[in-house]
């Protein structure tokens, strides 16, 4: 398990899911909050021609999980599981860049409460999330 962050602070193509969807994770900020960027194109759209709600949840779940990891060390890779997550879909997201950010609101060593926000390039709030994340012991990574 690496404990140092990537040199430029960006995590790209780390997992199958990340390669598939194409989001970029940024752990370079000193405030302990991860950012996740997605450049929305046709591959991410739903029937209505806007960003699929499932991908919104995916990006928010990602940014909250990495923010959880940042509470352990700066690598942003300490393993956490999502126990529960609620997404509120405030507005439709059109093709272009969106940014998600995660904020830890409470919890202790093993359980964290984390809220996420997704905004478009103009700063418009598109979706919010709140979730419970659990630290994975090293010996249970493949539960």
Instruction: Kindly list the residues in this chain that would bind a second copy in the complex (CB under 8 A).
Output: 14-17, 19-21, 41-50, 52-55, 57-62, 65, 77, 79, 81-92, 105-107, 111, 113, 115, 125, 128, 130-132, 134, 136, 141-143
CA 130 vs CA 18, 112, 136: distances in Å: 21, 11, 19
Residue located via tokens 């960003």: 51
Q: How far is the CB of 3 from a second copy (least distance, A)?
A: 15
Q: How far is the CB of 4 from a second copy (least distance, A)?
A: 17
Q: How far is the CB of 8 from a second copy (least distance, A)?
A: 19
SS3 24: strand
CB-based contacts of 87, cutoff 8 Å, min separation 6: 53, 56, 57, 60, 127, 128, 129
Nearer to a second copy, 16 or 30 (CB): 16
């Amino acid at each position: 398990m690496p404990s140092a962050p990537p040199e430029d602070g960006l995590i790209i193509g780390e997992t199958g899911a990340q390669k598939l969807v194409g989001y970029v994770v940024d752990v370079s900020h000193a405030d302990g909050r991860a950012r996740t960027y997605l450049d929305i194109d046709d591959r991410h759209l739903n029937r209505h021609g806007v960003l699929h709600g499932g991908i919104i949840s995916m990006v928010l779940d990602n940014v909250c999980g990495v923010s959880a990891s940042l509470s352990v060390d700066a690598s942003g890779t300490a393993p956490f599981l999502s126990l529960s997550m609620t997404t509120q879909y405030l507005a439709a997201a059109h093709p272009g860049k969106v940014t998600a950010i995660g904020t830890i609101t409470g919890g202790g060593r093993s359980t964290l409460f984390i809220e996420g926000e997704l905004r478009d390039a103009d700063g418009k709030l598109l979706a919010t999330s709140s979730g419970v994340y659990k630290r994975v012991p090293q010996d249970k990574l493949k539960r």
